[in-house]
Structure formats: C-alpha cells, structure tokens
Amino acid sequence: MFSKELATKILRLIDERHMTLESLSEASGLSRRFINNVTSGKQVPTLNSLEKLCSAFEVDPNDLLINDKSKDEERSIAMCVNTVYCKNQENPSTYIPICPYCNTLLQNDWQSYCDNCGQKLSWKHFINSKVVMHKPSKKLKG
C-alpha cells in the first residue's frame, strides 16, 4: 500500500514539474532504473534515496510520505475557533484561542490556519467562545 501511494505521488510530481524519469534521475543522482522500480511500486526507497528525491522535487519528506486524503479534505473546511484558554481567572480578558482540530494553543488571534496542524480556521463564532481554565492537551487525530 505504501509503495503504491508513494509511486503515485512521485509520478504526480514528475507530471506537475514537466519532468521525465531521465531528468529526475539527473536531478536526484539516482539511477533511472531505480526510479522506474519505485514509480512502478516494485521498490521502496531508502531514507537516503527519499532525501535525494525530495531534494530533486524541492519538497519536504512529509509531502511524499503523508497521504491521508480525508485529513486534507477536513482541513480544507474552515473550523470555527470557539474555545479559548484563560490562564488568569482574575483577568479573563487575557486569553489564548485553541485550535478546534488539534486542541493546541494558537499563536495569534485571527490567523487563517493553525501553525501546528494546518487546519483552516474560521473566527465567525469567536465572540461567543467557551472559556476553559485548564491548559488543553493536544489531541491525536487519526
């Protein structure tokens, strides 16, 4: 399953960048035969080979390794920021918004995306936010 998904991503990047297997081979320093085996799902690259492929495509390893369409689709829908953390009960005007997707504290008010998980954010109902007095723990979405 992993090798098939990786092969699909590599082929998509080759197409998007108007490359050939030969030009990817030259850019990465990997043999054309090796790249052909990877793109056909017959071989899985080592970490070193993966690093060379990422360098040739100018992408992060996560761009090749992480494949979860449902998370990407969910993250593309703006989730309402409607909970804030208040660390000082005596001064409730000092608060920190909480990402509704990963439950981490947001760095800035009104930011469009969570710095931690990449979730698209909406501030539409922020004025009616629920206030929590305990620091949130990160949620593991899966």
Domains and CATH numbers, the chain: 2-65 (1.10.260.40), 68-142 (no CATH)
Residue ranges, the chain, pLDDT below 70: 1, 67-75, 89, 91-93, 139-142
Q: What is the pLDDT of residue 67?
A: 60
Residue with tokens 């080592």: 46
CA proximity to 11, closest of 22, 21, 1: 21
CA distance 9 to 39: 9
Judged by DSSP in three states, 53 sits in: helix
| Burial bucket for residue 53 (CB in 10 Å: 0-12, 13-18, 19+) | buried
What global pTM score does this model have?
A: 0.48
